[in-house]
Amino acid sequence: MTSLDSVSTWLDDHFADLVARHQVPGAGVAVLVDGEVVDAAAGVLSTTTGVGATTDSVFQIGSVTKLWTTSLLMRAVDDGTLDLDLPLRTYLPEFRVADDAASAAITTRQLLCHTAGFEGDVFTDTGRGDDAIGKYLAELHGLPQLFAPGAMFSYNNAGFALLGRLVEVVHKVPYDRALTELLAEPLGLTHVAPSPYEAILHRAAVGHVQGPDGNWTAAPVWALARSNAAAGSMLAMRPRDLVTFAGMHLAGGLAPGGTRVLSEQSVAAMQAEQVTVPDIGSMGDAWGLGWTISRAAGGTVVSHDGGTIGQAAFLRVVPGANVAVALLTNGGDVFGLYRDVVQHLTSELAGVTLADRPVPPAEPGAVDHARCAGTYSDTIYDLVISQDDAGRAWLDRTPKDVLAEIGEQPFRTELVRYADDALIAVDAPNGVHTVYAFLGDDGTGRAAFIHYGRAVARAVG
């Protein structure tokens, strides 16, 4: 396998060129092998200011934050103050969604592996104070239950925002303080920013969004609402900090200096398969507690991606090789950069071939229009699947709520057959051909859900 010294040379020779080639304004990367780290940075933190990205620059990690939230809760498991399989109301008696039976039954474990079953994209801003996460619970009271708790996987941001409140209750401090005192400080991390108030003390990346002219410009908003902090709305750090956190998981819960952060049992439990994921080609094969689990050629990979307003993060960990790679970006062709950097490095260092993102097949075959067609709706999108006069399938996606507020535009693409009960988008905004699986039965032979990582219910009528 390639040595860490040769990785450092490769990054020096190629990283800046790759960042420029993929029109990424700025990026940072860090690689950990057997506890040792090398890192690199290139580009600018903001096209408005022109401030250069350095290895000490902090980028938002988005939903990779969910691994930190999970780790905080597993610390409570280690302390004996949390049982993952008791109803959540044991600890948060005020929790409820629209379905009373589900509200009484949902467990912490189901929230951690995205099987709680209620609709999961609620980004309501409840203020910037330490009470923001606590106040968020009231925003969930009307959420519909899509399926019985534990029945299937559906990625759930609201569930992890809710878990942020559980962190506060079991550790008896605000979420930001728990993250700093129980994870960042024991790990010896110096550039971890739970909110903009800490981020401004460092060289902080600004997200970039693509305008109608195709150019990338600085986003008008730096972070999403604090109510969603535990799900990934604002946590920022250096790539080096992120792989050091991953290194703790590789070391059975030990920090670099030997401090025990998590028990070996909790580290193993997080990486153990909890639920399989529908075949959509982009979210692994299964989910553990917090981690995505992929059975890649050459070994198992645990991972998580993150996306906020114009920033994208990628973390790949190969436990069998003691390797972790983190790539943090602030716009541009992030998936192309991921392919050329992260996929390359995991192959060279760990002998693991990460799967490419799915593409439409050359000969896709027939589409079952009767099963797929119709309208599917949740809090952030209306998705309409239709058939034209030539027999082709189309998706019209209309953003709502916070996505519409930040300027996301309606999107239309043709869909073709990808697999049994799955269609794939012909067009690829940001380089991603999204796969949509059609699951369940509404009682008339039509799919009950469209699933692209999160389940969206067919609209009534």
Number of C-beta neighbours around residue 56 at 10 A = 14
Q: Which two tokens stand for residue 130?
A: 């330490």
Of the candidates 312, 189, 304, the one whose C-alpha atom is nearest the C-alpha of residue 256 is: 189
Alpha helices in 118-259 (DSSP H): 132-136, 157-171, 175-179, 196-199, 239-250
Q: Which of 243, 258, 268, 256 is nearest to 349 (CA)?
A: 243
Query: Residue 347, exposed/middle/buried by CB under 10 A (0-12, 13-18, 19+)?
Result: middle
CA distances from 283 to 188, 193, 291, 295 (A): 31, 27, 10, 11
Which value, in Å, is the radius of gyration of the alpha carbons in the chain? 21
What is the length of the chain?
461
What are the structure tokens assigned to 117, written together? 């079953």
**b (16+ CB within 10 A) / e for 132-164:** bbbebbebbeebebbbebbebbbbbbbbbbbbb
Contact 384, 369 (CB under 8 A): no
294 catalytically annotated: no
Catalytic residue among 3, 6, 8, 63: 63
Going across the sheet that includes 192-193, the strands are 59-60, 236-237, 192-193
Structure-token match 């198992």, residue found = 300
Residue ranges of E strands in 127-224 = 192-193, 208-210, 216-218
Q: Pull the structure tokens for residue 124.
A: 């309501």
Q: Are 163 and 148 in contact (CB under 8 A)?
A: no
> By CB neighbour count within 10 A (0-12 exposed, 13-18 middle, 19+ buried), where does 371 fall?
middle
User: DSSP characters for 287-350?
Assistant: E-SS-EEEEEBTEEEEEEEEE-SS-EEEEEEEGGGTEEEEEEE-SSSHHHHHIIIIIHHHHHHH
3 state SS of 397: strand
Closest CA to 385 of 370, 364, 401, 399: 370
Q: Catalytic residue positions?
A: 63
